[in-house]
Structures are given as structure tokens and as C-alpha cells.
Amino acid sequence: MDVLSLIPQFGNLVYTIVAFVIALSVIVAVHEYGHYIVGRWSGIHAEVFSIGFGPVLWSRVDKRGTRWQIAALPFGGYVKFLGDANAASGKDEDAMNEISEQSPEELRRTMHGAPLWARTATVAAGPVFNFVMSILVFGLIFFSQGVTKEPLTVGTLHPLPGTAQGLQDGDEIVAVAGQKLPDFDQEGSWSDFTDALPVEPALDYTVIRDGQTIDVSGPWLYPPLIQQVAPRSAAMDIDLKQGDVITAVNGDPIFAFEQLKDHVESSDGKVLLLNVWRDGADLEFALAPRRTDEPGSDGGFVTHWRIGIVGGMVLEPATEPAGVIASLSGGVQQTMRIVEGSLSGIWHMVTGAISTCNMSGPIGIAETSGAMASQGAQNFIFFIAVLSTAVGLLNLFPIPALDGGHLVFYAYEALTGKPPSDGALRILMGVGISLILGLMLFSVTNDLFC
């Protein structure tokens, strides 16, 4: 075995692990800080705030008596409140008996002796902080990107092979092939516009340049240009890159992304030979499309053959600043789409409508972390926000040991006037931990064998 050949693979593995640890640590820190700060505001004392589990690598105790620490196993974290027996907030009966003998004021500072409203707010704060983080990150991305300027204006042009390019930066596009451009806020109008365009290698563009309306020739509006490569996809496996242009499939020349899509969807999973133009060089690749379950317009899922690339227009549109309110609104909408898509996906997996291979475990998440980090800081930050939404949603599931399970216990207490018995809680917590471990094992199996 050539040991030197393993160095690049080892480097990629380290990069993936580092990206995964960073992503998970940020999400865990936000989640646990939500528990901590709302607990503190509610009068509940936190004894330990930990990022990670196992042996402690670093710690310090603040003026409130809370020990902040970083542990060796960076696969989660916890806040241990006064009166807790463990990281899952189980009751330490001996400690609670001792505290109750001291004073009512000290008992009030424990998680289990605090009023119902304080416990509920403290537990709910973790997932809420995850959602708030996602909304703020998405909103910040939308704010920094701006909104597409109307009328559609050329910001930058993507390089394409052997194509006459009459468009210039700053051109305001009025019409394409005689079809007037619609407003972006007209629902469905853009797809109707593109469907009406003639499928030809070159199109006539009517533009306003320097105050004059002129006609110029340009390429098809949506060429087979790769603008993003999906993590853990066939395209990423063969190292296709952003900016690549696919010029032929199985020897058939193509100039439109829809032509590429037709080849992929009709492949039935058979290997496709791709001719790719990259920075002036002509390359050849072979890959097999994979079955992918995608959300449908009716709320269900549709199975397609995909290679894992995202296309776009031949030009990068010019943008103008987005307002704070519009950006935050976009952040809320993006977060809600992720929640709705996740719930729909889980339901369709449970009912057998789609494959359970759509569920990724820690290995898959780690691979995706590394892949998104390799595509730039913005893509990585966007992925962290997506993962934060997923973590917040997962923690709201009504499973004992998760935040959602505790909230169910509190709802029971609110209805009956008393909490579940300690014996019942121990049994339910054991069941919950077993379910979580089983789910983790199942997801890891998916990562290894799907």
C-alpha cells in the first residue's frame, strides 16, 4: 500500500471532522445557552454548562457559581441545574431532600422545585433559541445578498465555452426572444415566461444600455452550468465543481439545463458520460444518477433520478439592498419551509411512501458539513442554520429525555395538578433514552449501507 496516497484522504477526513465539530458545537452552544439564560432569568441556578461530554478539557467557575466547561467528546452538550442528577435533568432525590431541609428559597433555585411556568420556559428555550438562530442567520444572508433588481439587470456574466456573448454587465433586459420579462413577484409568471422561450443555442435579448434600447445575441438563458454541487451526491463523488459547464451527455451536445435534466431523468440509473468544460479545458466524467425523493407541490414526495447539481441563469443578476423586515420575513419563511419539509419527510418515511434512507445520521451530517464548508463560508453558515432548525425540531418531539418529553410531563402536571411519580418518570426516561439510542443506531446504519 502506498502510504503517501492516503495523505489527501486523511486531510479530507480531518477537514470533515473539524467542520462537523464546529457546526455541532455552535448549534449545541446556542441550544444550551437558551436553557441556561432563561433558567437564570426564571430564578433557576445552573451548576454546569458543558459543551461536549466526557473528560473535561477546560473549565472555569463564574461569579454565580456556574462551571463553564468544554469536554473531550464534542457530540452534544448539557446544562445541569441545581437538583439535577444528570445531563438529562433527572431528579437527584438525595440532593433535593437535603436542599428542601435547608430553606424554601434554596428549593426554589432548583429545576424540580421551581414553579411550573419557570420549568416550562427553561425547557422550551433550547429549541426556541435554535429557531431564532436560524431565522437570524437566514435573514442576515438575505440581507447581505440583497434582492434581485427590477428590471432584470446583468450583474456579472458566467463564462461559457464557444458562445457569442452580446450581453454586457449593467444591461437591463427588457425581453428575450420577443418575450417581455415578467415581474418577479408575479407567482408562476417566470416559469410561464421560460416555457415560452424557443429552445435554441442563441437567443435575441432586448436590453437597455446607456439609455438606448438595442438587440443583442446571447446564449440560452439557463445553460447546463453548475452553480452548486449537492453534498453526498453523484456529482460530488466525481469532483464536479461550481462553474463547470456540461457540454455533452453520452456524445449528444447540449446547451440548456433542461436537456441535461432530460438525459438524467430518462437514464434509469445507467452510467452517463459527461463532457465538461472547466476554465478553458475539456474534461470527461462518468457517473450514475441516483434515486432521490423530493418534495412535491401537493405536499407529498416525488422520486426522480438526480446527479446532485443546481443550475442557474447565464448571468448573475444585479441586486439592491434588502430591508431588515423583508430579510427577517424571509428568514422566518425559510425556517418554516425546513420544518414543514422535515415533518413531511418523517411522515412519508413512517408510512413507507419514501425510503428510510432519506434519514441521515452523524456520519452523513459530518460528510455534509465538510462538503458545505468546502463550498465557502456562506454555504457552511447556511447549512449550520438548516441543522439548527432540525435540532430544534427534533428536541420538540414528545420523547422522554428530550425537551419535548419534559414539556409533555409539564402539560400533564398542568392538567392534573401534580407531576408524574418519580418511579414513572424513571421508567419513561429509560424508554426515551432507549428510543434515542435506537434511532441513532438506525441512522448510522443508513449512513453506512444506504
Residues taking part in catalysis: 32
Contact present, 291 and 269 (Cβ < 8 Å): yes
**Angle between the N-to-C axes of helices 377-395 and 116-145, in degrees from 0 to 180, rounded to the nearest 10:** 160
Residues in the chain: 450
Enter the C-alpha cell of residue 348.
Answer: 412519508
Kind and range of the H or E element at 190? helix 189-195
Contact present, 124 and 407 (Cβ < 8 Å): yes
Contact present, 66 and 17 (Cβ < 8 Å): no
Terminal Cα distance for the chain, rounded: 28
Give the closest residue to 384 by CA, choosing from 374, 375, 373: 373
Task: Write the CA distances from 424 to 89, 115, 124, 235, 411, integer angstroms.
Answer: 15, 21, 22, 51, 15
Give the closest residue to 200 by CA, choosing from 169, 222, 179: 222
- DSSP state at residue 179: E
The half-sphere exposure of 243 on its side-chain side, counting CA atoms within 13 A, is 7
DSSP 67-109: EEEEEEEEEEEEEEETTBSSTT--B-HHHHHHHHHH-HHHHHT
Kind and range of the H or E element at 125? helix 116-145
DSSP 278-336: ETTEEEEEEE--EEEEEE-TTSSEEEEEE--EE---SEEE-EEPPPHHHHHHHHHHHHH
Contact present, 290 and 268 (Cβ < 8 Å): no
**Angle between the N-to-C axes of helices 6-41 and 362-374, in degrees from 0 to 180, rounded to the nearest 10:** 100
Taking the C-alpha atoms of residue 161 and residue 248, their distance in angstroms, rounded to an integer, is 12
**Angle between the N-to-C axes of helices 324-350 and 116-145, in degrees from 0 to 180, rounded to the nearest 10:** 110
Taking the C-alpha atoms of residue 55 and residue 225, their distance in angstroms, rounded to an integer, is 49
Contact present, 443 and 359 (Cβ < 8 Å): yes
